[in-house]
Amino acid sequence: MEECEQAFQQLKEHLGKLPLLSKPAAGEVLSLYLVVSKHAVSSVLIREEKKVQLPVYYISKRLLDAEMRYPQMQVLQKPDTSGRLLKWSIELSQFDINYKPRTAIKGQALADFVVEFAGLPDGAEEGNAPQRWKLYVDGSSNEYGSGAGLVLHTPEGHKITLAIRFEFPVSNNEAEYEALLAGLRLAEHLKVGNIDIFSDLQLVVNQVKGQYQTRDEKMVTYLKKVKEALEKFTAYDIQQGYYWPNLKKDAAEYAKRCESCQRYTPTPRLHSEDLTSIVSPWPFAKWGIDLIGPLHKTLGGYKFAIVAIDYFTKWVEAEPLTTISEEKCTNFIWNNIVCRFGVPHSLVSDNGRQFNNDNTNQFCELLGIHKNFSSVIYP
């Protein structure tokens, strides 16, 4: 317990220290340390003073799918490069760059650390993680009958599908439970150990999780059967979701056939304009701020979050909110930005009423903070 408390205090002390960046002198030779993994690339710009390496700037970027297929960059040092690599080599030749082999020094260790914790892309799993199966279930009932469908995904990507028609009357909730029980019986028959279960019915998911009460006698019986079946698995997780692999394609085709979508879709009238880069001259001078939510409500009633990020250091400040209002947003700017990092030069936000109102505008004008509003984007 003492070791845990000591580690927690050390973590608090580390997070409380601001990142210190060094300012290079004119004509000084700088070192750029690069590291590339399968999923991310990072670099650290370093200057050396009295045999001590000081960071000037750092950046880390998660690679997109196309970028993961780029060739390795060390071939730029070879004279026999061709095609795109030769073009890159010519572009870089205008700079006075001296390539050196990688050595175990602090700058390289920092670059390695950044790329190591950049995270894996969606869908990637740890090599030692236990293999998990995925079960999608759905049941429905109407005047013409009732039935259920389920899809079981193996860890290797194979699909096992099953459709069931019920010969007895059931409600929608009962049909969903029947589909869930059928899927669990199938998984048990295949000796599945770890499984993730997805059901589109919120009532069933939350009753299995124990978040909803079960009062109906039939639902109590179904819930008991499901919990008995779940005890036969090593590990399981149930969550709300649905199985629709062609969702985007079907939605696009529906929108093309929908007269209302085509007739009343918003048509942009403004002239197109090139995107403008936002540059921050020094740390904590320019902040971007926005709201997130509504999210799933927590025990404290929080279902929103306000987040601010510094454009120079990428430092993030965040705070949960029960409701979003002008007063809470202004208090966040005062407590989390002004009191911690000083008065910034400017703030960038959308033109929502939480940020664009008389009280917030007077607050920023009193402190000399410039307000910049980002343009609205329709995805």
What are the domain boundaries of the chain? 27-116, 133-240, 286-373
Report whether 153 contacts 133 (CB < 8 A).
yes
For residue 112, which phi and psi values (nearest 5 degrees)?
-60, -40
CATH number of 286-373: 3.30.420.10
In angstroms, the CA 273 to CA 375 distance is 11
Distance between CA atoms of residues 223 and 206, nearest Å: 11
Enter the CATH code of domain 27-116. Answer: 3.10.20
Query: Confidence band (pLDDT; 50, 70, 90) for 84?
Result: low
Q: Is the pLDDT of residue 73 over 70?
A: no
As a whole number, mean pLDDT of residues 341-356 equals 88
- The predicted model gives 4-24 an average pLDDT of 73
Give the strand order in the sheet containing 40-49.
Answer: 31-36, 40-49, 52-62
Q: What confidence tens digit (pLDDT) does each residue in 236-258 have?
A: 998 887 667 777 888 888 888 88
Q: Classify residue 276 by its DSSP letter.
A: -
CATH 3.30.420.10 corresponds to the domain 133-240:
yes
pLDDT digits 0-9 by tens, 295-332:
888 888 888 999 999 988 889 999 999 888 888 889 99
Cα-based angle 341, 342, 343 (whole degrees, multiple of 5): 130
pLDDT at 353: 84
Is 286-373 the same fold as 27-116? no
Q: Quickly state the pLDDT bin for 117 (edges 50, 70, 90).
A: very low
Task: Look at residue 358 and give its three-state secondary structure.
Answer: helix
**More reliable by pLDDT, 241 or 210:** 210
Question: Percent helix, strand, coil in the chain (nearest 5)?
Answer: 35, 25, 40
